[in-house]
Structure 1
Amino acid sequence: MSSAEAPRAIVVGLAGKTLSAGERALFAKAPPLGVILFARNIETPEQVRALVAEVRAALGRADAPVWIDQEGGRVARLRPPHWPAYYPARTIGLLDGGAAQRAAWLQARLIADDLRDLGIDVDCHPCVDISVQGAHDVIGDRAFSADPGAVADLGRAACEGLLAGGVLPVIKHLPGHGRALADSHVALPVVDAPLALLEATDFVPFAALSDMPIAMTAHVVYTAIDAACPLTQSPDGIADLVRGRLGFDGVLVSDDLNMQALTGTLAERAAAALDAGCDLALHCSGRLDEMTDLLPAIPLLDGDALARWKIAASRRGPALPFDRAAARAELDTLVAAGGEGEA
């Protein structure tokens, strides 16, 4: 197989707004499956389209996935003036049931329209963690609700809105980050809740959405599952909980390897995640020195992981017909009627 046919089991960030010569050379030798874009990579629509085209040309695959975190609210890589603002999940979750589901679908469909216009086809959205009073606010208003059933319903509506727009959703942070008392970007959260409580609350949305194409793991220790390892790196957690109890058989991607919840070198962090059962690792910093060391150490995407990726990618269809102006007007009307303010 040529390198274009044999990507590594990783998605990586980029340093800037164009692809550097160093990134091109590295991708020719050890190509990732795809890339993920951040604010540092984004300036104008024309520039983003050009960057996406550069990436796919460098990887030698016109269907190489380009990922982004575009949730609405405070987690939005695309922002005004070139892209519209969207509502935090909590704003939608506070609407009445039917209105909330419609708003979740409309917002996701609008986001998908923005992304497909740029060539971006995977969105790390929706966040289906539940809101838990007293927890760290790293999730906060990114959660639709404290009600697991409502989160499941609104998460499904958001996933379906993205899929209708030709964008693959990534549900996160499996099996639930909402109860954590620490931000996994800076420390390792440990959740001591009993299994029965987790099964009745945090795990509910992930079990309900087990048919979705991609899920992102939480760098969180759940002592009722595996007191020694964060879920991302827990063989028992992934085999017994994720693939077993929750029934998720889609692509499992780690959260960012650079987060301080994890320890060891980046290659060690990636190996632990992949060995535990993640299909893909995620490296977001865009630092070429880190990628130069990391990418050659990542195995090729093959076996069950490749099969799961092919199934997920097959769900990335053409965008269905859509009246953008009418959808935005309806979304804003629903939110205004609920008294929840502006995006």
Structure 2
Amino acid sequence: MAKAFICGCEGTALSGEERAFFAAERPWGLILFARNCSDPQQIRDLVADWRETVGDPAAPVLIDQEGGRVRRLRPPLVADYPAGEVYGRLLERDPAGGRRMAYLGGRLIGADLHDLGITVDCAPILDVPTPVTSDVIGDRAYGTTRETIIDVGRKIAEGLLAAGVLPVIKHMPGHGRATVDSHLELPVVDAPADELRRVDFAPFKALRDMPLAMSAHVVFTAFDPDNCATQSRTMIELIRDEIDFDGALMADDVSMKALGGEMGARVEKLFAAGCDLALHCNGELEEMRAVAAVSPELHGDALRRCAAALAQVKAPVDADLEALRGEYERLLAAATAVA
């Protein structure tokens, strides 16, 4: 049985130590970064080697491939894709064109990933920004209103699913009001509960049917002034009961500085709060050992939710990808022409 964590690796091929670790601990998933990707065949070989090592040919392999600043694969490995705000810019001028462009963006990014054996994309991003939002979100946001973000996020997710790739909605229940970068420090949001429900939580509720979500390392003082959402039982219960999300919930990267304390203690706290999966990204083996040591085997609702997510991986819908890319490029030109 797989353990309830996802981790990275150091380079473009597994080391002997990494292979022994993965074989013994059997993480649920592997997440790739630019450091792991040099050419298409190398990526396919790394993915296949990891799956063979953990003994599961369908074990999920993840990547952050939003477009813009957050894309681990760049030309010439794959085609170029813009930051998320470009989709919203077209949608506000041409709703049908914006939705179509978003779907095509998801479909084409998904096709790139599927070709490499990658089955999960950490997108779409459903955070609703404010004028003082940290640049860690910035132009990644699809727009400035919940309606735009819901429309674009839904279509990107549908495009990914049509390509045989699972989307991960993030950062639940909302990172848009954070004024600092959670990679570096802990954001604290003091907005009232009714405003958070009306704006920030709304995109996640609208896309609650998605298979996977990633939590936010953000404190919402209106609900739990002492713990960020990732480590807050109150917030996880809100995600399950009020937002009504029954997909698999992974913590954002546990090595981020928003989470203080020793690595094992960080991970124990997120599981105690109700997260299904811990995510560790930097590939440092000793940290991964600490994560593995406190990560349980998947069981109960976490096992059910993770299995249900993987059951949604389907063969890609037949499509003329060259024709879709041509259509996408035309829409992209229209979007970027709007000042």
Give the TM-score normalised by the residue count of structure 2: 0.97
1:149-188 paired onto structure 2 within 5 Å:
149-188=147-186
Q: Match for 2:36 among 41, 45, 61? A: 41
**Structure 2: tracts of 5 or more residues without a match:** none
1:72-151 paired onto structure 2 within 5 Å:
72-95=67-90, 96-151=94-149
Alpha-carbon shift at residue 338 of structure 1 (Å): 3.0
Matches of 1:339 and 1:136, distance apart in 2: 23
How many percent of aligned residue pairs carry the same amino acid?
50
**AA at the equivalent of 2:81:** Y
- Matched with 2:297 is 300
Q: Is 1:247 the equivalent of 2:244?
A: yes
Q: Report the secondary structure of 1:113's partner residue.
A: helix
1:226-265 C-alpha deviation (Å, 9 max, x unpaired): 11100000001111x1001101010000000000000111
**AA at the equivalent of 2:70:** V
Matches of 1:278 and 1:35, distance apart in 2: 18
**AA at the equivalent of 1:217:** S
Matches of 1:230 and 1:30, distance apart in 2: 28
Matches of 1:126 and 1:294, distance apart in 2: 26
Q: Match for 1:28 among 23, 30, 52? A: 23
Q: Report the secondary structure of 1:15's partner residue.
A: coil
1:133-171 C-alpha deviation (Å, 9 max, x unpaired): 121111011100111011111111011000000000000
1:60-113 C-alpha deviation (Å, 9 max, x unpaired): 000110000000111011101121110111011101211111111000000010
Matches of 1:338 and 1:297, distance apart in 2: 47
Q: Is 1:191 the equivalent of 2:186?
A: no
1:258-296 C-alpha deviation (Å, 9 max, x unpaired): 000001111111111111010000000101121123213
1:5-16 paired onto structure 2 within 5 Å:
6-16=1-11
- Matched with 2:209 is 211
1:162-216 C-alpha deviation (Å, 9 max, x unpaired): 0000000000000111110110000000000001111111111001000100000
Higher mean C-alpha displacement, 330-339 vs 250-259:
330-339
- Matched with 2:262 is 265
Q: Is 1:289 the equivalent of 2:286?
A: yes
**AA at the equivalent of 1:200:** R
Higher mean C-alpha displacement, 278-287 vs 319-328:
319-328
Give the TM-score normalised by the residue count of structure 1: 0.96
- Matched with 2:329 is 332
1:317-328 paired onto structure 2 within 5 Å:
317-328=314-325
Total equivalences in the alignment:
335
Q: Report the secondary structure of 2:283's partner residue.
A: coil
1:280-327 C-alpha deviation (Å, 9 max, x unpaired): 000001011211232132111111100001111110111010111111
**AA at the equivalent of 1:25:** A
Matches of 1:277 and 1:268, distance apart in 2: 15
Matches of 1:339 and 1:68, distance apart in 2: 26
Q: Report the secondary structure of 2:31's partner residue.
A: strand
Q: Report the secondary structure of 2:200's partner residue.
A: coil
- Matched with 2:64 is 69
Matches of 1:288 and 1:180, distance apart in 2: 30
Q: Report the secondary structure of 1:211's partner residue.
A: coil
Matches of 2:290 and 2:201, distance apart in 1: 36
**AA at the equivalent of 1:286:** G
Q: Match for 2:272 among 254, 271, 275? A: 275
**Structure 1: tracts of 5 or more residues without a match:** 1-5
Structure 1 residues 232, 333: CA separation in 2 closer, same or farther (over 3 Å shift)? Answer: same
Q: Is 1:311 the equivalent of 2:308?
A: yes
Alpha-carbon shift at residue 340 of structure 1 (Å): 4.1
Matches of 2:73 and 2:168, distance apart in 1: 17
Matches of 2:294 and 2:143, distance apart in 1: 40
CA contact (8 A) 1:131 1:144 kept: no
CA contact (8 A) 2:86 2:336 kept: no
